[in-house]
């Protein structure tokens, strides 16, 4: 028969709290339900196992969790009221008491969530993590078990982010003399939900939490992970080397909006810089899917950093034709997909943009061509270091021309061509 828990029934902090029952236990400590008579409420009390009090690394980690959570005020982050040390040296955290189940328990009991239920949960979690990231805190152990679903008034499925015990706190959040627990080359976290960089023990950014959130959303929607692994080491290798199974191909018969496939695939990119920049951006992308959009807002697209410039190519001769539209007057929503202009080749659509193109001919008999500045910069680079004669060139490579220069050159050519045509017509007597 196990020994009775010495904390149950005990009053702590000069009678402010009375511990009633144990509601959970882990490797570092136990969580208890306690009453706070003065406030007429229930609270949760997390206490580090007394046998671990002499472990400086774990004590520092426990204090760090308390400090990290006490700085966060987002409604979807579990609130911390107090933290410190009891009379017997035990470390404690007093936090809000939550009733419900974690996301993992809920999905296993009820099955995969429909899109309409899953997306609002993850949007709120993104908000909580974005606040943490903004204050210099990276969670590092995001998984369904650390998202708790509770009832908040009339709100069902109200998520709360738990357990910042592995949180990475940046220097501005560290107290002087704090013990730095993590170092490059060490791996912490849950293998099934690790980012590739976390699996390799390299320095982490907010993009690591975004990757983990994408796996959580994937599992909530399908009941499966995006990789078929058999154990922790297997999953670590798959995160680093394997391409995830596309969301819509994971479970036969389950279909999802194409934009949702795109959003999750981007959040699961191997390189952190290829994912969404912030958790807020990831949340906004998920919201775009929830709102029924078929494309992401412009500011969230991969190519949103460089503006597009639309040039009107009139069919009528001369740049001053009466029906030639002004490129700046063409609405952005009516722009066609970007075209890449290659030397010696016909103008062709790049096919890389998700922006909708016009469904009818452009006004005024003009064909708008959208030129991609990135493509132009790539094409302006010399294809070879040698000229046509085969001798090495001593001249420096040509500088990439700006788009304004290209337009000016094109217009000058049109004017010179028109002048030459008029001169020929006079010479011929017409």
Residues belonging to the active site:
141
With the CA atoms of 204, 208, 212 and 213 taken in that order, what torsion angle do they form, in degrees rounded to the nearest 10?
Answer: 130
Kindly list the distances between the CA atom of residue 332 and the CA atoms of 327, 337, 368, in Å, as whole numbers in the listed order.
10, 11, 11
Say if residues 127 and 280 touch (Cβ distance below 8 Å).
yes
Q: Taking the mean position of all CA atoms in its chain, how far away is CA 251?
A: 24
Say if residues 232 and 267 touch (Cβ distance below 8 Å).
no
Structure token digits, residue 276:
């969404």
Contacts of 30 (CB under 8 A, 6+ apart): 5, 7, 22, 24, 46, 47, 49
In angstroms, what is the C-alpha Rg of the chain? 30
Structure token digits, residue 132:
């943490």
Closest CA to 263 of 229, 217, 231: 217
Kindly list the distances between the CA atom of residue 130 and the CA atoms of 71, 150, 175, 364, in Å, as whole numbers in the listed order.
13, 21, 22, 48
Structure token digits, residue 428:
């011929």
Q: What angle do CA 41, 47, 50 make, to 5 degrees?
A: 150
CA distance linking residue 357 with residue 338, whole number of Å: 9
Q: What angle do CA 126, 281, 121 make, to 5 degrees?
A: 30
């Amino acid at each position: 028969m196990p020994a009775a828990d010495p904390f149950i029934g005990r009053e702590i902090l000069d009678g402010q709290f009375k511990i009633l029952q144990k509601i959970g236990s882990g490797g570092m400590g136990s969580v208890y339900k306690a009453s706070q008579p003065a406030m007429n409420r229930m609270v949760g009390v997390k206490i580090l196992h007394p046998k671990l009090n002499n472990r400086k690394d774990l004590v520092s980690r426990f204090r760090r969790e308390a400090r990290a959570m006490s700085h966060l005020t987002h409604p979807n982050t579990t609130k911390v009221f107090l933290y410190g040390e009891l009379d017997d040296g035990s470390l404690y955290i007093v936090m809000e008491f939550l009733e419900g189940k974690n996301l993992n328990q809920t999905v296993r009991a009820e099955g995969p969530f429909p899109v309409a239920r899953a997306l609002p949960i993850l949007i709120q979690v993104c908000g909580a993590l974005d606040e943490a990231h903004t204050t210099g805190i990276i969670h590092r152990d995001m998984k369904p078990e650390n998202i708790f679903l509770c009832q908040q008034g009339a709100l069902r499925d109200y998520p709360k982010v738990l357990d910042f015990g592995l949180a990475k706190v940046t220097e501005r959040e560290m107290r002087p003399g704090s013990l730095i627990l993590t170092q490059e080359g060490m791996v912490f976290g849950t293998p099934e939900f690790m980012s590739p960089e976390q699996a390799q023990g390299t320095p982490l950014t907010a993009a690591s939490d975004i990757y983990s959130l994408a796996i959580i959303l994937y599992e909530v929607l399908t009941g499966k992970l995006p990789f078929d692994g058999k154990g922790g080491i297997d999953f670590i290798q798959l995160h680093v080397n394997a391409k995830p199974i596309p969301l819509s191909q994971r479970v036969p018969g389950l279909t999802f909006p194409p934009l949702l496939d795109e959003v999750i695939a981007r959040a699961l990119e191997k390189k952190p810089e290829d994912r969404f920049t912030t958790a807020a951006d990831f949340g906004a992308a998920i919201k775009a899917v929830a709102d029924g959009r078929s494309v992401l807002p412009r500011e969230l697209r991969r190519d949103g950093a460089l503006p597009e410039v639309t040039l009107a190519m009139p069919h009528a001769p001369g740049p001053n034709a009466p029906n030639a539209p002004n490129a700046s007057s063409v609405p952005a929503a009516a722009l066609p997909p970007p075209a890449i202009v290659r030397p010696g080749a016909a103008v062709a659509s790049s096919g890389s943009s998700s922006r909708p193109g016009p469904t009818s001919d452009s006004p005024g008999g003009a064909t708008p061509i959208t030129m991609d500045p990135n493509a132009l910069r790539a094409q302006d680079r010399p294809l070879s270091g040698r000229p046509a004669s085969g001798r090495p060139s001593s001249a420096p490579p040509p500088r990439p021309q700006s788009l304004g220069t290209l337009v000016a050159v094109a217009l000058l050519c049109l004017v010179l061509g028109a002048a030459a045509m008029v001169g020929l017509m006079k010479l011929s007597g017409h």
